[in-house]
Amino acid sequence: MARQSHLDHLAAVSLFAACSKKELQAVARATDEVALPAGRALCEQGASGREAFVILEGTADVLINGTKVATVGPGACVGELALLDHGPRTATVVCETDCDLLLLDQRHFIGVIDDVPALAHKLLATLAGRIRDLDRQNFG
C-alpha cells in the first residue's frame, strides 16, 4: 500500500485532485520516491520528457528561456504534460534545495489509466478546465 503522505501529496496536485483514494493509491503505487540534490535539473526546456515529478520536500525553480518564472514546493507537480505526450518540455526545472520527489513515468502512468479507466475521464476534465482557464487569461 502507498504511504499516506504520498497520497496526501498526490491529492494536492490539481491533475489528481478529483481522484478517489483508491485511484490515488493506484497512482502512488506507480511512482518511485527519489532524492535529488540542490542544483540538479528535473527537466530541461525543449527536451523530450517521459516523466513527471511531485515535490514531497524541498523547492525547485521553474525557468522559461532562462528566466525564473516561479519557485514550487511540496505538493507541486512538474513535467506532467510528458505523461500525455513526448512533446518538448515547456520549462527547465532545477532543484533550488535538496528535494524528495515522487517520480511517475509515462509507461507506468499509462498502465494506471488502463487499470482504472475512470481516472482518464477525471484527468480529461481537469485538463479541459486548465485549457479554459488559459483561454480566459489570454482572450478574456
pLDDT tens for residues 65-117?
999 999 999 988 898 888 888 889 999 999 999 999 999 999 998 998 898 88
List strand residue ranges (DSSP E) for 25-72, in order: 32-36, 41-43, 51-57, 60-64, 67-72
Q: Per CATH, is 4-107+117-127 categorized as 1.10.287.950? A: no
Cβ atoms 101, 55 nearer than 8 A: yes
| Sheet containing strand 51-57, strands side by side | 32-36, 99-105, 51-57, 77-78
Question: In whole angstroms, what is the distance from residue 15 CA to residue 13 CA?
Answer: 5
Give pTM, 2 decimals.
0.84
Q: What does the alpha-carbon distance between residue 40 and residue 99 come to, in Å, rounded to a whole number?
A: 9
Q: What pLDDT is attached to residue 89?
A: 93
